[in-house]
A and B are shown apart, each in its own frame.
Chain A
């Protein structure tokens, strides 16, 4: 099974010196291959244009290396794209053993839509990196874009997966511990409260939006079933009744398309937005955590210095340590402040854009339905 998707580029970048997009993606049996296309005028790249194939795991690898880079601790690291999820359709595909031919048109459309969404989030991830003054210079990022062979990133083994899980546990526990540390900067205090609150709200809104769009799709599916049932009823009928039924079936079939589009656009413009910012806010919270960690380290180093001075032992070393901690903390605070401010601006812009687009699509679809219904009512009334 191969499925090609051409994405409509949504570039956040105004800078033409490094433009990245994913013009298409190939869905094979158990993996998706994204074509990553780069156009650049930057001197660090050897060629002005690249086109390479990358898999989801490559993106994850890139994300992980960035997270692990100490240098970027003061930055909001763009959230990694979620793993493409077409378990449903793929399982069915496996069961049937064959490709497209055995897939219904509907399943195909659903899968395509899912893939479009996946392409979009992967693209956004790269664009976030390319538009950032620090990340765009990242060595690994450049390799990711340039290297024309398979990156052959090793998938995480079970131990590492567990390690990652353990790290997360520690981090959560640590978060609780350092939450006791008194905040010295009012900006971060506010920001922390805001992000904690916002994060839970947006998570909730995402879940609710998902539910809403799902039930909307159910309604569209029902239209489809009704259309089928009406056609079946009409097929066995030969009275005046028949043409009413057929007309009605036709209306439902068309309505289904509009309603389906409505639901998927809502999903794409609203639910995806909320989903993305749920992850982005998590990334911002991670930044706050790293800064809070640095603050805690600094305070500890202060205490250690006090102790050393009291004992008169290793004072220079403690002083050095304390200085480093302070430096690191100050650096994190400085870049963190900048990052969070720009994050806010970015979020507002993204919400504006998506909400406008969604509203326009809603209006467009509703207008389609109206003209469809008006036409059908006319026809029904006239005969």
Chain B
């Protein structure tokens, strides 16, 4: 935890800026008056405006909010936290080249610097340098892009282990860990900026590409370098509410960027990426500025999301007969993203493939604290009905419900910037034939094992008594728990609405029939006619109710069902974090024991075993550091994910609620039409 809070202060001046424009009202006011108009005006294509932005409003941005935000912590927290960062930030932006010297001049940084330049940069950089041209030519190479970073990250983790021994200082490790991150994201951005920004600019961008990386690294350092300074005071900052808010600002801002990017041109996103991982990066900052503006614009146009990567699940089709039958769905993708082989492609997938995708994704990403969107549940009953093959409406409804749920599931997966990167996702969307997902069957041995795992997980979860240090998490965990409860209740209500509306529809139909009969018995011609007209009106209203019931269900009830599942996934992330914490604590305990052993050996004066004990201590010390770091990383990720999730949720709900209200509106408008048509008939009774 300590490290993440240490690391965060420096970047906030940069990152809070989009955030303030977004959320905090006061800040937004301050900006809308001055900078937002200036910031919005330059389109990403124009070369000059961005420069204006960096010259003029930057000062405002950094001086204003900073003083606001920092003024308070400065009273309580060590002044070192805000001051170095703010100074540096201004410097960094005013003169990027100066920055190097600036950073270097900072005493703590000097040590890691050479290492950075020599070791880690070399390995990944070769990738970076080698790939951009390839990338421009053949989009196919994407696969390669995806893999090497992985390899490099592995190798770097090996290196990291080595370096961890070399430098017991924490910062280096941090840097090493950051590096692969930067690198994995780098390969893609290297080329794309050309499209995003105008040629002039892109030239500028591409040229410093080589430089860019080192500068990123420097920036990375700039992040970490000042951190040790306030590290002593960071304990106070942890409990300080104001300070933790700044963290929020930072993390939200980064989420902001990564969250919006998928719907932006992917290239833009990648251009943003480096600045996300290195917000203070002087050169990258210029690129991060422009997109961040466009991102704000995009914030409003939410359809952009579907524009970029439009996935639909259609044509559910029964394949085979009897109990071996299954439903196959057509998964169509429409995209302009270069990571895909073509712009449109279609594959056929069965339900277990969707589940298989989830299994793969959660295996890889859940442990890192990512919220992996869960697929719809298996329904043995529903599927059996379909298998038996009776063409009754309930099984048709089941199929449609599942189809829609699968579609939403996939859309949620690809709207997650990290999951979209996953090769399995791409394979799922693109590859003609998938190996059959085996472990997804509800009643298989694997299924049983899974259940067993879940049970043990639940037990271990109960036994872990985590002493929550982080106020944010403490509150959030409670919030999520409450929200899930409320959502469940709400879901029950909405389901009851669906049922009652269906009932109403049915009763209206029956009444319509009955009125038609009454009309046929009526001996007054005009009244008889009016009654049969009334029957027709009621028939139409029945249709209306039926459609509305479908809307109640698909737009409202299913939304809630989705979010109940998603909140479950969020809780899963919290659990992962808790597990990481437990691992760290266990290691800490182990280390304690080893130290006791050493002390005993020293006391007993047994030098022969002492060396072994020392080795073990070193080993566990490394483990403790590693686990602690892992815990911090997962905490940071989970927090970022949850904030992203909250935003997405708010947007999603708003969109769906509007859609739902529109469906109600439409119903009522139809109702007016029907009754208005009936009115003259009623008046004609004589």
**A–B pairs, 13, beta carbons within 8 Å:** A198-B518, A202-B518, A205-B511, A205-B517, A208-B514, A222-B496, A226-B490, A245-B653, A348-B527, A355-B530, A356-B679, A373-B661, A373-B664
Contacting pair B668 A352 (CB below 8 A): no
- 8 Å CB contact of A225 from B23, B493, B508, B675: B493
B23: A residues at CB distance < 8 A: 240
Instruction: Flag whether B354 is at the interface (Cβ < 8 A).
Output: no
CB contact list, B467-511 vs A, under 8 A: 479, 482-483, 486-487, 489-490, 493-494, 496-497, 500-501, 503-504, 507-508, 510-511
Given contacts A208-B511, A352-B527, A352-B682, 6 further A-B contacts (CB under 8 A): A197-B521, A202-B518, A233-B486, A244-B650, A352-B685, A373-B662
A139 to B661, CA, bound (A): 60
Instruction: Flag whether A321 is at the interface (Cβ < 8 A).
Output: no
Contacting pair B650 A239 (CB below 8 A): yes
- 8 Å CB contact of B507 from A212, A367, A373: A212
Instruction: Flag whether A216 is at the interface (Cβ < 8 A).
Output: yes
- 8 Å CB contact of A248 from B482, B649, B657, B665: B657
Could you tell me the distance in whole angstroms from the C-beta of B344 to the nearest C-beta in chain A? 31
Q: Which of A67-75, A129-137, A143-151, A357-365 contacts B (4 or more CB under 8 A)?
A: A357-365
A230 to B662, CA, bound (A): 18
Instruction: Flag whether B608 is at the interface (Cβ < 8 A).
Output: no
Known contacts A212-B508, A219-B497, A241-B650, A205 near B514 by CB under 8 Å: yes
Could you tell me the distance in whole angstroms from the C-beta of A237 to the nearest C-beta in chain B? 7
Contacting pair A351 B685 (CB below 8 A): yes
Instruction: Flag whether B321 is at the interface (Cβ < 8 A).
Output: no
Known contacts A211-B511, A232-B489, A344-B524, A359 near B671 by CB under 8 Å: no
A133 to B21, CA, bound (A): 81
Closest A residue to B478 using CB positions:
A236
Contacting pair A236 B482 (CB below 8 A): yes
Contacting pair B511 A236 (CB below 8 A): no
Instruction: Flag whether B459 is at the interface (Cβ < 8 A).
Output: no
Contacting pair B672 A366 (CB below 8 A): yes
B522: A residues at CB distance < 8 A: 198
B115: A residues at CB distance < 8 A: none
Instruction: Flag whether B647 is at the interface (Cβ < 8 A).
Output: yes
Instruction: Flag whether A113 is at the interface (Cβ < 8 A).
Output: no
Could you tell me the distance in whole angstroms from the C-beta of B495 to the nearest C-beta in chain A? 9
Provide the B637-652 mask, 1 if CB < 8 A to any CB of A, else 0.
0000000001101100
Instruction: Flag whether A377 is at the interface (Cβ < 8 A).
Output: yes
A197: B residues at CB distance < 8 A: 521
Contacting pair A205 B508 (CB below 8 A): no
Could you tell me the distance in whole angstroms from the C-beta of B669 to the nearest C-beta in chain A? 6
Contacting pair B654 A356 (CB below 8 A): no
B672: A residues at CB distance < 8 A: 363, 366-367, 370
Could you tell me the distance in whole angstroms from the C-beta of A266 to the nearest C-beta in chain B? 10
A239 to B517, CA, bound (A): 55
Closest B residue to A206 using CB positions:
B514
Residues of chain B at the chain A interface (Cβ within 8 Å): 23, 479, 482-483, 486-487, 489-490, 493-494, 496-497, 500-501, 503-504, 507-508, 510-511, 513-515, 517-518, 521-524, 526-527, 530-531, 534, 646-647, 649-650, 653-654, 657-658, 661-662, 664-665, 668-669, 671-672, 675-676, 678-679, 682-683, 685-686
Contacting pair B511 A209 (CB below 8 A): yes
A237: B residues at CB distance < 8 A: 479, 483
A237 to B480, CA, bound (A): 9
Could you tell me the distance in whole angstroms from the C-beta of A279 to the nearest C-beta in chain B? 16
- 8 Å CB contact of B486 from A205, A221, A236, A248: A236
A225 to B157, CA, bound (A): 54
A76 to B675, CA, bound (A): 34
B517: A residues at CB distance < 8 A: 201, 204-205
A356 to B678, CA, bound (A): 9
B686: A residues at CB distance < 8 A: 348, 352
B503: A residues at CB distance < 8 A: 215, 218
- 8 Å CB contact of A363 from B526, B662, B676: B676
Contacting pair A351 B527 (CB below 8 A): yes
User: Which of B517, B534, B654, B678 has the largest count of A CB atoms less than 10 A from its CB?
Assistant: B654
A198 to B676, CA, bound (A): 28
A226 to B493, CA, bound (A): 6
Contacting pair B497 A194 (CB below 8 A): no
A202: B residues at CB distance < 8 A: 518
Closest 6 CB pairs of A and B: A233-B486, A222-B497, A352-B685, A229-B490, A215-B504, A208-B511
A40 to B494, CA, bound (A): 56
B665: A residues at CB distance < 8 A: 369-370, 373-374, 377
A381: B residues at CB distance < 8 A: 658
Contacting pair B483 A233 (CB below 8 A): yes
Known contacts A232-B489, A244-B650, A225 near B496 by CB under 8 Å: yes
Contacting pair A236 B527 (CB below 8 A): no
Instruction: Flag whether A62 is at the interface (Cβ < 8 A).
Output: no
Instruction: Flag whether A380 is at the interface (Cβ < 8 A).
Output: yes
Instruction: Flag whether A268 is at the interface (Cβ < 8 A).
Output: no
Known contacts A223-B497, A373-B664, A215 near B685 by CB under 8 Å: no
Instruction: Flag whether A77 is at the interface (Cβ < 8 A).
Output: no
Could you tell me the distance in whole angstroms from the C-beta of B190 to the nearest C-beta in chain A? 35
A245: B residues at CB distance < 8 A: 653
Contacting pair A359 B675 (CB below 8 A): yes
Could you tell me the distance in whole angstroms from the C-beta of A103 to the nearest C-beta in chain B? 23
Instruction: Flag whether A376 is at the interface (Cβ < 8 A).
Output: yes
Contacting pair A348 B507 (CB below 8 A): no
Contacting pair A377 B661 (CB below 8 A): yes
Instruction: Flag whether A124 is at the interface (Cβ < 8 A).
Output: no
Contacting pair B504 A219 (CB below 8 A): yes
Contacting pair B664 A355 (CB below 8 A): no
Known contacts A251-B661, A356-B679, A212 near B500 by CB under 8 Å: no
Contacting pair A233 B487 (CB below 8 A): yes
Contacting pair A362 B675 (CB below 8 A): yes
- 8 Å CB contact of A201 from B497, B521, B676: B521
Closest B residue to A245 using CB positions:
B653
Contacting pair B489 A229 (CB below 8 A): yes
Closest A residue to B682 using CB positions:
A355
Contacting pair A348 B685 (CB below 8 A): yes
- 8 Å CB contact of A230 from B490, B515, B521: B490
A230 to B503, CA, bound (A): 23
Could you tell me the distance in whole angstroms from the C-beta of B566 to the nearest C-beta in chain A? 13
A359 to B682, CA, bound (A): 8
Contacting pair B661 A380 (CB below 8 A): yes
Closest B residue to A349 using CB positions:
B685
Contacting pair B685 A376 (CB below 8 A): no
Contacting pair B524 A212 (CB below 8 A): no
Known contacts A211-B511, A377-B665, A380-B654, A226 near B494 by CB under 8 Å: yes
Known contacts A205-B518, A351-B530, A366 near B511 by CB under 8 Å: no
B510: A residues at CB distance < 8 A: 208, 211-212
Contacting pair B682 A373 (CB below 8 A): no
Instruction: Flag whether A255 is at the interface (Cβ < 8 A).
Output: yes
